[in-house]
Structure 1
């Protein structure tokens, strides 16, 4: 039984990565597939980078046959439409092609599909409605399937919303009272992996698991405040005084997050995230528990087993600061170049003239360095080019410091200490560069 081959789609994500590693530890042959994998995630020759969403049904059929797949676990999902993210393409259109590929493969394959809890009547976002459309496509097919609807997933890793809740636990800050009171039933990622392992060893012809839809979450009701409280106990911040942000700040943060997403970033606070947060996370896990015999871990059992480590605390404290660091560096480079080029051009050029630069070079150097500064700011603003921009900013700053030391050493002792302050700016850019990874 353990020789069955499992294909995990979305093997770089929170659920997909854990499931891939967990199933391998249980002895299964697992092919982990994702559009991109970090070097740390490429643990096996069976970890594959492939732009799977661009593949048609025929290509997917060949993939299933090539790896002799018995189980497909679909963990693919995007929160919100944006550059490189299309909820309809990922949740609905791809699932339709995957179902066709499974049907055409000539193999008996079980599909395990990761969806979201809730009811269609409560779906308001493109994220939720397209997830539900995928469920309907799967339910209408003749393919053996299990639709798993996990609650708020608690895992050793932290991406997106789970990282945001950790950050809130590490700061003396609460979401608005209404949001803190929303139901938020959690599930341990270990329970998701255990469920998939349980399904994998079931006989494909077992009528009890031919077509099931299960809510995966702890039975005990809990609110978002209760989830954050458990994290605060782990972080040692439970006794801190708290300040609740007003609702308009949450909405403003979502709009800023939407803007950042157009630049390629994936902030946890976006319009869809806030809308889903306000809906809450609820479900009925009784059918899942009865069928599998699994006893879901409680939140206290998952988080309260150990106090937070220093790396947990650093991550939680720096998670929200990362956005502030990147934004401040973008503003720093754009504004410094703008001021030198348009506001204080004569003063900037005068520094070069006062230090004996040939007049023919003054304007090109002043204009060129100003445009370079602004270009660095633009590069940092876009996620795809942020690393290049930060590296360029560090090189440019070192160049300014070295050039000033050779050509205008008196600037090092000017009262405002502009060149002296370049050193901490370099360090901040280095910190941002080291924090760019999301996974």
Structure 2
């Protein structure tokens, strides 16, 4: 039986490919840096958690050897440089080490590599350039290989670009004219998985294999036409819509870039917008002929998966999630900074009027202000966001209970600061409930 190692099996494409191969009864090792609890349950004994992208040649060789793989499927990719993630290290740097590891195995192993569509002459971003260099390294290596270049991936589970499409479909807005009319080819993730399975089945160890395929539906589409179809699928057909100005797209991309330095991975970043403005193009004719795939249309995919209430909730909440996290982080940071700086005297007076001695008032204002600032910082960073939200709920409830016992007069303060803490607690609970990305 052919044994297959899927690298990056926690990602959108990797998860579906690994799951599909397992359902077909193939021997699969699903490898990724980290899996969610649901993914570990899905893959069971096939799971292998390891920091793949940072492994050296010996580490990659050991991973391949331990899996006994005849076929290695590489689904690792990074959209944009950010702390802990590098397009070079994830793409051409990693592929260089992977090629060396495959050569050192001492037996033929087929490499199936997921790349990007388009021609090299149009590459303007580090993402596209590093992807293209990786493709070149594979071709030059002489290893048996298949390079798959999918268009925008449409999958049952929304993530990244496909999640952004659903979110845009749920809004009463249209994209700027130039972006809306760019060529936009898509592919069903089922067709990618089917292609991987067919190539793995056809290849015989020791035989040469070299192919580059554009994986996408042959019919021409624009980004706006795909969003319009998703809008109809979701049932969010607004009676009116506003045309977004170009600067709003650029502003959103800059905000995404900023959040990426806090550890978040939003789909709307400068690289994503640059690639969309370039257009998603390719020629799937060779893929369809050689592999024998009949690409699924968007209408077929959506008809097979009617929109449910969770689809609509996700689409409507996806962009609000970023806004909620940003508002909560700023809320805690600003409240702490104001209390410890410009409003320090007023905070002391309020505490002393409520019966706190002077020394205790100073300590309480300083400690509570620093606590607020720490909670805000924890919420702002992706790695600690859930901790910050839980801490914020605990601190807010503590403030409410403490003041009810020690300074009940604050509950009838004219501006109702403590009364407004209740809605903030609920908003933090909402942020916790929707914090998962996959």
What TM-score does the superposition give when structure 1 sets the normalisation length? 0.97
- The answer for the alignment partner of 2:176 in structure 1 is 176
Query: Any idea what SS the aligned residue of 2:72 has?
Result: strand
- The answer for the alignment partner of 1:77 in structure 2 is 77
Which whole-Å CA distance do the structure 2 matches of 1:362 and 1:423 have between them? 24
- The answer for the alignment partner of 1:238 in structure 2 is 237
Structure 2 counterparts to residues 46-195 of structure 1, below 5 A? 46-195=46-195
Number of equivalences: 436
Give the aligned CA root-mean-square deviation in angstroms.
1.2
2:39 pairs, out of 38, 41, 56, with: 41
In the alignment, structure 2 segments of 5+ residues that lack a partner are none
Structure 2 counterparts to residues 221-300 of structure 1, below 5 A? 221-300=220-299
Shift of 1:239: 5.0
Is the 1:234–1:306 Cα contact (8 Å) retained in structure 2? no
2:323 is the alignment partner of 1:324: yes
Which whole-Å CA distance do the structure 1 matches of 2:203 and 2:261 have between them? 46
Is the 2:30–2:46 Cα contact (8 Å) retained in structure 1? yes
Which whole-Å CA distance do the structure 1 matches of 2:267 and 2:59 have between them? 33
Of the structure 1 ranges 231-240 and 79-88, higher mean CA displacement relative to structure 2 is found in 231-240
Shift of 1:414: 2.8
For residues 180 and 383 of structure 1, do their structure 2 counterparts lie closer, same or farther at Cα, with a shift above 3 Å needed? same
Is the 1:230–1:304 Cα contact (8 Å) retained in structure 2? no
Which whole-Å CA distance do the structure 2 matches of 1:182 and 1:416 have between them? 50
Is the 1:179–1:224 Cα contact (8 Å) retained in structure 2? yes
CA deviation profile, 1:85-143 (whole Å, cap 9, x unmatched): 10011100110111111111012210000000000001100000000000000001121
What TM-score does the superposition give when structure 2 sets the normalisation length? 0.97
- The answer for the alignment partner of 1:19 in structure 2 is 17
Shift of 1:5: 1.0
Shift of 1:225: 0.9
Is the 1:152–1:185 Cα contact (8 Å) retained in structure 2? yes
Which whole-Å CA distance do the structure 2 matches of 1:64 and 1:339 have between them? 56
Query: Any idea what SS the aligned residue of 1:237 has?
Result: coil
Which whole-Å CA distance do the structure 2 matches of 1:302 and 1:203 have between them? 29
CA deviation profile, 1:369-423 (whole Å, cap 9, x unmatched): 1111111111111111111111111111011000011011122233322212111
For residues 253 and 39 of structure 1, do their structure 2 counterparts lie closer, same or farther at Cα, with a shift above 3 Å needed? same
Which whole-Å CA distance do the structure 2 matches of 1:75 and 1:306 have between them? 25
Which whole-Å CA distance do the structure 1 matches of 2:113 and 2:218 have between them? 21
Which whole-Å CA distance do the structure 1 matches of 2:237 and 2:398 have between them? 47
Which whole-Å CA distance do the structure 2 matches of 1:270 and 1:206 have between them? 43
For residues 205 and 366 of structure 1, do their structure 2 counterparts lie closer, same or farther at Cα, with a shift above 3 Å needed? closer
- The answer for the alignment partner of 1:407 in structure 2 is 406
